[in-house]
Structure 1
Amino acid sequence: MSVPIAIFIIPAILFIQIVYIFNSSLEPQCTYLIQPEEPNTEFSSVVPEDPPTTQQRQQPHLENLSLCQSPAEIGAALEILGSRNESRRAIFFIESSNKGSITARQICALESAAMHNPDADIYLLLLDPPENPDLTRDEKMLTVLRHHDNVRLLAADSATYYVGTPLQEWSVANRINTSSHPIEHASDIMRVVTLLRYGGVYLDLDFVILQSLATLPPNWLSYELNRDLCNGALGFQKGHPMAQMMAHELAETFDGSSWAHNGPSMVARVMSRMCGMPESESGNNCSDVTVLERDKLFPIGYPGWERYFDGAAGPEVVDSVKHSLGVHVFNYLSHGANVTLGSNQAYSLLAQKHCPRAYWGCFKFF
């Protein structure tokens, strides 16, 4: 290269490199907030089949989950819910750990609800989340938000969320802070207040929704096991008397030492008082409150939770729940059980179909 040409070319190359570096610094950074999961070597009661081969794990043609995306927005719960279009159905999920992050399985609950209920608003309420929570940059969450515009992330401030309800003068924060089960009890309270204030459906984050929930009655509870009522799934119209009584019951009888007292047991007490429905029996004198049989949302009760993780029984289990609206996998029991991507475990098969973006966004285990 002659000296005169080099005088022009070398500065041009340096200029291009400087521009590239500057532009690159402006791009959003790709951060993998949920790292590839390792097997849980301590869990041995359910042994899935051998990990699938590379060919078996070929993912469907979903978009590249590693694309850089801007952080998700988190709205203010009182502002957004106070001005929402009440002609649309509302489905609520709650994250009450104050961590501002959820797992792939919990993202699956949101995605499956959004997929089968495009005409409903799907809300994840984050109770007192930290500033700039990890969830806003989680790639699986961002992908679900991009493909389902009916999903919203909302921050709920515990200092103001209970104003205008029977819990307004009750020190929720102090009771929760001294509770033996603070995350569960915060959620127990928040789901009742949410349905009382806004109406809609509440679901635990360990559901996989299999069909539209549009066929549910406006006011309902569900059996979970035999004739036992639960609070893991329930629905009420805004201001319904039963939701009002549940809020009063929590304010008057809250017990921070008992896991079930403020949840399933509270539902049973209120149902007995309002509707003459003794615990574990089927009588119901409340004409506007329907009690769903457990096959609608709890086709397999908690004693049989391992069936969702049994690779040999997967197709049989999937067939047995095909008429259900959803399935509950009892995370408090099953969180340590591995789900291998591409396996025949029932949870794996259901997730592939009903929450593919949350599922295939994982590395080896869902």
Structure 2
Amino acid sequence: MSNLLRLALLYKFGGIYMDTDVIVLKTLTTLRNVIGAQSIDLENGNWSRLNNAVLVFDKKHPLLFKFIEEFALTFDGNKWGHNGPYLVSRVVSRVNTMPGFNFTVLPPSAFYPVNWSRIKSIFKGPRGKVHSTWLHRKLEQIKSESFAVHLWNRQSRKIKAESGSIINHIMLDCCVFCNSSSSSL
């Protein structure tokens, strides 16, 4: 039901919705009527799956209405993702070329810079020179291209952030931590 609730609230009020396992790196106030691609087709460069963990939409946006309509017509509580990421992907693939929907699909780097199957990699500290170089490059890519990082809680919830890991660097750079004193923790 959380999938329906996020859509209904966004449709009624507009604004920003994000899952609780998303770390915001940059302001989202510059974004308007956007959804993020979770993955792209490497052959043609088009998105292959969208995700609804981060949604930024105006009040009463017609795409949100189409999402709600699809939810009502096709609800299936027995299939993981059917009412969430697969739902938004189905709807957007149908309306993508239709006039009047005015929205943008952002690339995976915007909100999903690390695939769910590789999320553990950003919690690991450097394992040698080659790995350290990869961590540095990936961190710089995330800092320059990403508005947020989805942590895929189901995959990452039991993983500890190691010293020198990408997540460790993100936490150290985060304004929540730099503005708090250690005595208040």
- Which band: TM-score by shorter chain? 0.7 to 0.9
1:361 is displaced (CA, Å) by 9.0
Give the aligned partner of residue 336 of structure 1.
158
Separation (CA, whole Å) in 1 of partners of 2:110 and 2:122? 16
Provide the identity percentage. 29
- 1:336 partner SS: coil
Q: CA-to-partner distance for each residue in 1:209-241, whole Å, 9 max, x for gaps?
A: 11111221x211110122211111112111111
Q: Does 1:213 align with 2:48?
A: no
From the superposition, tell whether residues 264 and 362 of structure 1 become closer, same or farther in structure 2 (CA, over 3 Å): farther
* Among candidates 125, 128, 132, match of residue 311 of structure 1: 125
Q: Does 1:246 align with 2:60?
A: no
Pairing of 1:75-114 with structure 2 (within 5 A): none
In the alignment, residue 125 of structure 2 is paired with which amino acid?
G
* Among candidates 305, 310, 327, match of residue 149 of structure 2: 327
Separation (CA, whole Å) in 2 of partners of 1:361 and 1:288? 48
Q: Does 1:200 align with 2:22?
A: no
Q: Note the aligned Cα RMSD (angstroms).
A: 2.3
- 1:332 partner SS: helix
Contact 1:219 1:288 in 2 (8 A): yes
Higher RCO, 1 or 2 (CA under 8 Å, sep at least 6)?
2
Q: CA-to-partner distance for each residue in 1:158-215, whole Å, 9 max, x for gaps?
A: xxxxxxxxxxxxxxxxxxxxxxxxxxxx221111111111001111111111111122
Give the aligned partner of residue 44 of structure 2.
none
Q: How many residues align?
A: 167
Separation (CA, whole Å) in 2 of partners of 1:265 and 1:212? 27
Q: Could you tell me the TM-score, scaled by structure 1's length?
A: 0.42
1:246 is displaced (CA, Å) by 1.0
Give the aligned partner of residue 232 of structure 1.
53
Pairing of 1:235-274 with structure 2 (within 5 A): 235-274=56-95
Task: Structure 1: give runs of 5+ residues left out of the alignment.
Answer: 1-185, 277-283
Give the aligned partner of residue 129 of structure 1.
none
- 1:232 partner SS: strand
Q: CA-to-partner distance for each residue in 1:99-142, whole Å, 9 max, x for gaps?
A: xxxxxxxxxxxxxxxxxxxxxxxxxxxxxxxxxxxxxxxxxxxx
- 1:311 partner SS: coil
Separation (CA, whole Å) in 2 of partners of 1:289 and 1:362? 42
Pairing of 1:44-63 with structure 2 (within 5 A): none
Separation (CA, whole Å) in 2 of partners of 1:197 and 1:288? 18
1:274 is displaced (CA, Å) by 2.1
Give the aligned partner of residue 349 of structure 1.
169
In the alignment, residue 172 of structure 2 is paired with which amino acid?
Q
Pairing of 1:24-43 with structure 2 (within 5 A): none
From the superposition, tell whether residues 338 and 317 of structure 1 become closer, same or farther in structure 2 (CA, over 3 Å): same
In the alignment, residue 253 of structure 1 is paired with which amino acid?
T
- 1:321 partner SS: helix
- 1:224 partner SS: strand
Q: Could you tell me the TM-score, scaled by structure 2's length?
A: 0.80
1:362 is displaced (CA, Å) by 11
Separation (CA, whole Å) in 1 of partners of 2:7 and 2:184? 33
- 1:234 partner SS: strand
From the superposition, tell whether residues 361 and 321 of structure 1 become closer, same or farther in structure 2 (CA, over 3 Å): farther
- 2:52 partner SS: coil
Contact 2:120 2:155 in 1 (8 A): no
1:286 is displaced (CA, Å) by 5.8
